[in-house]
Amino acid sequence: MYWQLLENRVTSFAHNFSFERIETPILEESALFSHAIGRETDIVKKELFEFVLKDGTPVALRPEGTAGVARAYINHGMLSLPQPVKLWYMGPMFRYDRPQAGRYRQLHQFGFEILGSDHPVLDAELVSMSVRFLKSLDISSHCLVNSIGCRVCRPSYLQKLLLFVRQKKRSLCADCNERMKKNVLRVLDCKEEKCQIIYTDAPSMVDNLCEDCKKHFTRVLEYLDEMNVAYTLAPRLVRGLDYYTRTVFELFPTGMPKEVPLVQENSSSYQEKEQEEHQEEQEENEEAPSKNPHRQDALAGGGRYDLLLEMLGGKPTPSLGVAFGMERILTLLKPKVDAAVPPKGHTNSVFLAQLGEKARKKMLVIKDELIQKGVKVLDAFSKDGLRLQLEIASRAKVSYALILGEKEVIEGTVILRDMNEGIQEIVPFEKIVEVISAKLAPKGSL
């Protein structure tokens, strides 16, 4: 029920925002993921479910959806379609990680991708759409946002970062020592608390953006302000995948970002942010960082990947996307649904009980008509005794049962029993679908 609700909501949301569904293979050549996501990322280095085919080709179960979508865009010539192309997907992803609450080896994601435009309004729209999606499920979230620059400004920033981490080398974990040799930006993504504390003092990318990236990011934040989307600047948010450029963001359930030490507290407009920047930096440095960034609590993450399609052999195609973790959303959604709808039983269903062969045949016809009208039906056609059937109905907590014996078949009627009240009424065959449909009409908003 919960999965169905979420899947239906994603499908209708994507439809309303004019995204087309895309299905990509679960199994792809490993090279796609190592090229796209980055050889030095945790997802590729530690978490890829990889094996070798008989012909020696290394293949992997997809750890995320964007690389496959980008490959499909190139292979299927989507560049010739009107741009940007808006696609969405939903399905299983695989990450070889230590399973724990909120972190699974087989997880499910859905995602929205916009390929073929570098306009900052799309970054803001994607963030806003993501927040609104969760809100439509009554889940309030908070957005962390950052810009990680482009190939013009990032190299000089990386030099500064490298200088910083080299000085702190001895205090950093073994993984960070490795990361600084191969891809220093990845250190900011470290899950070790002691490292995160050190990185609160690290130089930040937003302070080192080139003019174009600065303009782009300013406009993204202005659009977000315009759309009244609350966000927090998180100067050390880099995401766990290498393909990102410029805007990156993550959504946490409300309450979470306050505990994230990499956050630069701010939820006012961008102009005010710039003015307060200096003062805030001081405050941030004074603040004792509390805990790890709780990455397993993020509900969604995304950003721009302007260079990815080129990296995969396509033409330059600036693009962006977001992915949501379905299990984590469901954990928050389940209690809300349970509160709106009684959790156990089939209260919105009707049970069909029959006595004798003629009644069974007639009930088959009634069942068909009810299902065609969208009524949810439970039955026990293989059983004979009426008492047994009503016991099954009672255990399933259905609201209504239809009872049909030889006498009713001859009279052309059905007994309709209200299972909660124990009251029965006689309804003619031709009225039964209408009466039941009206009684089971859905109530509540979720």
Closest residue by beta carbon to ligand AMP: 325
- The answer to the question of residue 293 lying near ligand AMP (CB under 6 A) is no
Query: How many residues line the site for ligand AMP (CB under 6 A)?
Result: 17
Q: Which part of the chain contacts ligand AMP (CB under 6 A), choosing from 80-88, 123-131, 293-301, 378-386?
A: 293-301
- Residue 375 φ/ψ, nearest 5 degrees: -85, 140
- The answer to the question of residue 417 lying near ligand AMP (CB under 6 A) is no
CA 170 from chain center: how many Å?
38
- The answer to the question of residue 62 lying near ligand AMP (CB under 6 A) is no
Angle at 327 between CA 263 and CA 92, to 5 degrees: 110
Contacts 24+ apart (CB under 8 A), 103-109: 103/296, 104/327, 105/49, 107/325, 107/326, 107/327, 108/325, 108/326, 108/327, 109/64, 109/65, 109/323, 109/324, 109/325, 109/326
Q: Are 140 and 177 in contact (CB under 8 A)?
A: no
Q: Which part of the chain contacts ligand AMP (CB under 6 A), choosing from 168-176, 282-290, 298-306, 384-392?
A: 298-306
Q: Which part of the chain contacts ligand AMP (CB under 6 A), choosing from 98-106, 140-148, 227-235, 365-373?
A: 98-106
C-alpha distances (whole Å) from 348 to each of 334, 351, 402, 424, 438 are 18, 10, 14, 18, 11
Angle at 280 between CA 277 and CA 283, to 5 degrees: 160
- The answer to the question of residue 146 lying near ligand AMP (CB under 6 A) is no
Q: Which is nearer to ligand AMP, 101 or 441 (CB)?
A: 101
- The answer to the question of residue 323 lying near ligand AMP (CB under 6 A) is yes
- The answer to the question of residue 49 lying near ligand AMP (CB under 6 A) is no
- The answer to the question of residue 69 lying near ligand AMP (CB under 6 A) is no
Angle at 112 between CA 107 and CA 117, to 5 degrees: 145
- The answer to the question of residue 104 lying near ligand AMP (CB under 6 A) is yes
Residue 150 Cβ vs ligand AMP, minimum distance, rounded to whole Å:
20
Name the nearest CA neighbour of 383 among 419, 359, 349.
359
**Residue 284 and residue 62: Cα distance in Å, rounded?**
38
- The answer to the question of residue 64 lying near ligand AMP (CB under 6 A) is yes
Angle separating helix axes 2-16 and 120-136, nearest 10 degrees: 150
Residue 134 Cβ vs ligand AMP, minimum distance, rounded to whole Å:
11
- The answer to the question of residue 45 lying near ligand AMP (CB under 6 A) is no
- The answer to the question of residue 327 lying near ligand AMP (CB under 6 A) is yes
Lay out the site mask for ligand AMP across 352-371 (x = CB under 6 A, - = otherwise). --------------------
Structure tokens at 199: 């990185």
- The answer to the question of residue 29 lying near ligand AMP (CB under 6 A) is no
Q: How many CB atoms lie within 10 A of CB 291?
A: 11
Q: In what order do the strands lie in the sheet with 423-428?
A: 376-379, 349-354, 400-404, 413-418, 423-428
Q: Which is nearer to ligand AMP, 105 or 360 (CB)?
A: 105
Residue 116 Cβ vs ligand AMP, minimum distance, rounded to whole Å:
21
The DSSP bridge pattern shows strands 349-354 and 376-379 to be parallel
Q: Which part of the chain contacts ligand AMP (CB under 6 A), choosing from 15-23, 185-193, 319-327, 354-362?
A: 319-327
Q: Are 302 and 323 in contact (CB under 8 A)?
A: yes
- The answer to the question of residue 97 lying near ligand AMP (CB under 6 A) is yes
Name the nearest CA neighbour of 370 among 437, 438, 440, 443.
437
Q: Which part of the chain contacts ligand AMP (CB under 6 A), choosing from 143-151, 218-226, 323-331, 386-394?
A: 323-331
- The answer to the question of residue 37 lying near ligand AMP (CB under 6 A) is no
**Residue 261 and residue 168: Cα distance in Å, rounded?**
18
- The answer to the question of residue 321 lying near ligand AMP (CB under 6 A) is no
239-278 residues near ligand AMP, rule: CB under 6 A: 240
Q: How many CB atoms lie within 10 A of CB 283?
A: 12
- The answer to the question of residue 48 lying near ligand AMP (CB under 6 A) is no
- For residues 183, 234, 122, 270, the Cα torsion angle rounded to the nearest 10 degrees is -140
Among 28, 206, 325, 359, binds ligand AMP (CB under 6 A): 325
Name the nearest CA neighbour of 277 among 224, 206, 216, 376.
206
Q: Which part of the chain contacts ligand AMP (CB under 6 A), choosing from 167-175, 209-217, 295-303, 331-339?
A: 295-303
- The answer to the question of residue 299 lying near ligand AMP (CB under 6 A) is yes
Q: Which part of the chain contacts ligand AMP (CB under 6 A), choosing from 99-107, 121-129, 341-349, 429-437?
A: 99-107
Q: Which is nearer to ligand AMP, 196 or 389 (CB)?
A: 196
Query: What residues line the site for ligand AMP (CB under 6 A)?
Result: 64, 95, 97, 102-104, 107, 109, 240, 298-301, 323, 325, 327-328
